[in-house]
Amino acid sequence: MVMFTIPAGKADDGLKQTILSVYFHDHSSGSPDSTVRAVVGCPGKLWNLTQFGTLFVSDDPLTEGPDPESAPVGRGQGIFVTTSLDGVNTHVSLSIVFTNEAYNGSTIQVQGNSDQMKAVREYGVVSGTGKFRYASGYVTFENFSFNSSISYAVTRCNISIHHY
């Protein structure tokens, strides 16, 4: 096995830092307009957020502010699965796909496992494309609001990345 070590660059190595906040609008009612859906789970068990083995897909609209009528930024498209037997932890694999003028076509790839019951959850940024090529960093997701009568949640996503 051959191993290479490349020294870390200086602070001025050409990397840019970007800090953004966007808002996910999550509709999980099961209606035809839902942006989150359970697609598979354990046979004989209810497919929900706290049931081990339940897999969800999402395609949430992203906006600049918490109001659903604020300027669109892109989509949050990905999968998440409840990965702990007690139903607390989920594994997330998510693409933040930008459609706004500033970052159109660029993506940020988010991945990680965390306690879904916490008000603030942190995940790693593992890559990016376009204006965020080779991104690394982290994101936090914060519960902003939830309307249980229509299963609608707004989540603030704080992004802190370095990229070329």
The domain locations on the chain are 17-163
Banded model confidence at residue 33, pLDDT cuts 50, 70, 90: confident
Query: What's the average model confidence in pLDDT over 97-119?
Result: 95
- In the predicted model, is pLDDT for residue 9 greater than 70? no
Question: What φ, ψ does residue 36 adopt, rounded to 5°?
Answer: -130, 130
Which one is predicted more confidently, 5 or 131?
A: 131
**Would you say 76 and 92 are in contact if contact means Cβ atoms under 8 Å apart?**
no
Choose the CATH number for 17-163 among 2.40.480.10, 1.10.10.60, 3.40.50.1000, 3.30.360.10: 2.40.480.10
Which one is predicted more confidently, 143 or 12?
A: 143
Q: pLDDT digits over 38-64, tens only?
A: 999 999 998 988 999 999 999 999 999
SS3 131: helix
Query: What's the average model confidence in pLDDT over 88-105?
Result: 97
Predicted model pTM:
0.88
Q: pLDDT digits over 113-163, tens only?
A: 989 889 999 999 999 999 999 999 999 999 999 998 898 999 999 999 999
Query: What's the average model confidence in pLDDT over 72-87?
Result: 96
The residue count of the chain comes to 164
Contacts of 68 (CB under 8 A, 6+ apart): 25, 61, 154
Q: What is the pLDDT of residue 5?
A: 33
